[in-house]
């Protein structure tokens, strides 16, 4: 039975974190843009920035968690 390499686990964790963070960031960015009445195309920019920032941060933390768990053999 072949075991996954550490790099594959960290990459999968980062991708999963990015996807979850992006979804949460898009919802929260939309909520903020509507709540604070951001005008016109700035609304799209605000939602995009919130989505990317949330995706990057959550992906980073999940990748770090995957790296920490990489050496454990359970």
What tens digit of pLDDT does each residue of 57-74 get? 999 999 999 999 987 765
Is position 8 within any domain?
Answer: no
Is position 31 within any domain?
Answer: yes
What's the domain range around 64? 19-70
pLDDT at residue 74 in the model: 59
**4/15 Cα distance (integer angstroms):** 16
Is position 59 within any domain?
Answer: yes
Residue in the structure block whose two tokens are 């929260």: 28
Residues whose CB falls within 8 Å of the CB of residue 64, separated by 6 or more in sequence, listed in order: none
User: For 25-64, how does the pLDDT look when each residue is reduced to its tens digit (9 = 90+)?
Assistant: 999 999 999 999 999 999 999 999 999 999 999 999 999 9
Q: Per residue, what are the HEC states of 5-17?
A: CHHHHHHHHHHHH
The answer to whether residue 14 scores a pLDDT higher than 80 is yes
pLDDT at residue 15 in the model: 98
Domain count along the chain: 1
pLDDT at residue 1 in the model: 37
């Amino acid at each position: 039975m072949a075991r996954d390499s550490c790099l594959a686990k960290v990459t999968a964790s980062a991708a999963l974190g990015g996807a979850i963070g992006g979804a949460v960031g898009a919802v929260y960015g939309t909520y903020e843009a509507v709540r604070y009445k951001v005008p016109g195309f700035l609304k799209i920019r605000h939602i995009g920035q919130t989505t990317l920032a949330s995706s990057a941060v959550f992906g980073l933390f999940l990748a770090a968690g995957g790296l920490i768990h990489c050496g454990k053999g359970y």
